[in-house]
Amino acid sequence: MVRKIILTFSIMFCFANADVYEDNCVKCHKQLPVSIDKFFYNFLLMYSSETDMKNAIISYLKYPAIETSVMSDKFIDKFGIKEKSKLNEDELKEAVDIYWQKYKVFGKLK
């Protein structure tokens, strides 16, 4: 029973606070000619598991570097490396969790 309540509140919290993802991720990525899902699939190809991928994204957002980017050299030459995220740890985790839920392919492929 307690688990159900916690799960319900967690889901409600994620949807109620979806703005952290929309306001801080989607808003900037809309300005690029490459859709945000392309970044997701590049990370997925490189890291494959949910945990590894989320950790890699969070690490990259905290400490962006050419060496840890999943984008091509051509993309980086044209658009550069993003600036360090101004989100705190909890906001980063929340945004990456929302991102994962939106684009994950596991369980969706037939």
| Residue 108 maps to a domain | no
| Residue 110 maps to a domain | no
| Residue 60 maps to a domain | yes
**CA nearest to 84, candidates 66, 62, 68:** 62
| Residue 109 maps to a domain | no
Count of the separate structural domains present in the chain: 1
Specify the pLDDT at position 33: 85
Please say whether the beta carbons of 59 and 39 come within 8 A: no
* Cα of 60 vs its chain's centroid, Å: 10
Task: Determine the structural domain holding residue 38 and report its residue range.
Answer: 2-103
Ramachandran class of 81: left when φ > 0, alpha when ψ lies in -120 to 50, beta otherwise: beta
Specify the pLDDT at position 47: 94
pLDDT per position as a tens digit, 51-75: 999 999 999 999 999 999 999 999 9
pTM of the model: 0.76
| Cα distance between residue 92 and residue 17, in whole Å | 12
pLDDT per position as a tens digit, 73-94: 999 999 999 899 999 999 999 9
| Residue 17 maps to a domain | yes
| Residue 22 maps to a domain | yes
